[in-house]
Chains A and B, each alone.
Chain A
Amino acid sequence: MKALKAEETAALESAALRIRQDILRMVRAGGAGHVGGAMSCADIMAAHYFSILRIDPAAPAWPDRDRLVLSAGHKCMALYAALRQRGYFDESILDTYGALKSPLPGHPVMQKLPGVEANTGALGHGLSIAGGMAMGLKLKKSAAKVYVVMGDGELAEGSNWEAAAAASHHKLDNLVVCVDCNGLQLSGKTEEIMNYGPLPAKWAAFGWSVRTIDGHDFGQIVGNARAAPFEAGKPSVMIAQTVKAKGMSFAEGKVDYHYWKPKGDEMARAVAELAAAAEGIKA
Chain B
Amino acid sequence: MREFKDPRVGFGNALLAAALQDDRILALSADSSGSSGMTPFKNRFPERHIEFGIMEQGIIGYASGLATTGWIPFFSAIAPFVTARPFEMFRNDLGYMNQNVKVVGRNAGLTYSDLGATHQSLDDVAILRTIPGVTVVCPGDPLEIERAVQAAVLHQGPMYIRIGAPSIPILHPADMKFQLGKGIVMMDGCDVTIISTGTALWRAYDAAEMLRARGIKARLISMHTVKPIDRDLILAAALETPAIVTVEEHYRVGGLGSAVADILACMVAPHASLKMIGVDDQFASNGPYEELLGLYGLLAEQIAHTVEDFIRHDPI
Given A122-B88, A135-B50, A170-B50, residue A111 in contact with residue B61 (CB < 8 A): no
A155 at interface by CB-CB < 8 Å: no
Using a CB–CB cutoff of 8 Å, the interface residues on chain A facing chain B are 63, 109-111, 117-119, 121-122, 125, 127-137, 139-140, 142, 146, 159, 162-163, 165-166, 169-170
In angstroms, Cα B58 to Cα A128, docked, is 5
In angstroms, Cα B63 to Cα A111, docked, is 18
Contacts of B69 in A (CB 8 A): 63, 132-133, 136-137, 139-140, 142
Asked if residues B58 and A166 are in contact (CB atoms below 8 Å), the reply is: yes
Asked if residues B50 and A125 are in contact (CB atoms below 8 Å), the reply is: no
Asked if residues A128 and B96 are in contact (CB atoms below 8 Å), the reply is: no
Contacts of B63 in A (CB 8 A): 132
Query: Which residue of chain A has the shortest Cβ distance to B56 in the bound complex?
Result: A162
Query: Which residue of chain B has the shortest Cβ distance to A121 in the bound complex?
Result: B92
In angstroms, Cα B47 to Cα A10, docked, is 46
Asked if residues A128 and B61 are in contact (CB atoms below 8 Å), the reply is: yes
Asked if residues A159 and B57 are in contact (CB atoms below 8 Å), the reply is: yes
In angstroms, Cα B69 to Cα A140, docked, is 8
Using a CB–CB cutoff of 8 Å, the interface residues on chain B facing chain A are 26, 47-48, 50, 52-53, 55, 57-71, 88-89, 92-93, 96-98
Asked if residues A136 and B70 are in contact (CB atoms below 8 Å), the reply is: yes
Query: Which residue of chain A has the shortest Cβ distance to B71 in the bound complex?
Result: A136
Contacts of B92 in A (CB 8 A): 119, 121-122, 125
In angstroms, Cα B88 to Cα A130, docked, is 17
Asked if residues B66 and A136 are in contact (CB atoms below 8 Å), the reply is: yes
Asked if residues A166 and B55 are in contact (CB atoms below 8 Å), the reply is: yes
Asked if residues A139 and B61 are in contact (CB atoms below 8 Å), the reply is: no
Contacts of B68 in A (CB 8 A): 117-118, 129, 132-133, 136
Contacts of A140 in B (CB 8 A): 69-70
In angstroms, Cα B53 to Cα A169, docked, is 10
Asked if residues B55 and A162 are in contact (CB atoms below 8 Å), the reply is: yes
Q: List 12 A-B contacts (CB under 8 A).
A: A63-B70, A119-B92, A129-B93, A132-B63, A132-B67, A132-B68, A135-B62, A136-B66, A139-B48, A163-B61, A166-B62, A169-B53
Q: Which 4 A-B pairs have the closest CB atoms?
A: A132-B65, A128-B61, A136-B69, A162-B58
In angstroms, Cα B66 to Cα A110, docked, is 16
In angstroms, Cα B53 to Cα A129, docked, is 17
Contacts of A109 in B (CB 8 A): 96
In angstroms, Cα B100 to Cα A132, docked, is 13
Query: Which residue of chain A has the shortest Cβ distance to B60 in the bound complex?
Result: A128
Asked if residues A132 and B64 are in contact (CB atoms below 8 Å), the reply is: yes
Asked if residues A163 and B97 are in contact (CB atoms below 8 Å), the reply is: no
Asked if residues A132 and B62 are in contact (CB atoms below 8 Å), the reply is: yes
Query: Which residue of chain B has the shortest Cβ distance to A163 in the bound complex?
Result: B58
Asked if residues B65 and A134 are in contact (CB atoms below 8 Å), the reply is: yes
Asked if residues B66 and A159 are in contact (CB atoms below 8 Å), the reply is: no
Asked if residues B62 and A128 are in contact (CB atoms below 8 Å), the reply is: yes
Contacts of B53 in A (CB 8 A): 165-166, 169
Query: Which residue of chain B has the shortest Cβ distance to A69 in the bound complex?
Result: B65
Asked if residues A131 and B62 are in contact (CB atoms below 8 Å), the reply is: yes
Asked if residues B58 and A111 are in contact (CB atoms below 8 Å), the reply is: no
CB proximity of B263 to chain A, nearest CB, Å: 29
Asked if residues A136 and B50 are in contact (CB atoms below 8 Å), the reply is: no
Contacts of A127 in B (CB 8 A): 61
CB proximity of B73 to chain A, nearest CB, Å: 8
Given A63-B70, A132-B62, residue A125 in contact with residue B93 (CB < 8 A): yes
Asked if residues B65 and A128 are in contact (CB atoms below 8 Å), the reply is: yes
Contacts of B98 in A (CB 8 A): 111
CB proximity of B7 to chain A, nearest CB, Å: 27
In angstroms, Cα B53 to Cα A109, docked, is 30
Asked if residues B89 and A125 are in contact (CB atoms below 8 Å), the reply is: yes
In angstroms, Cα B48 to Cα A142, docked, is 16
The listed residue with most A CB atoms (<10 A of its CB), out of B48, B57, B59, B62, is B62
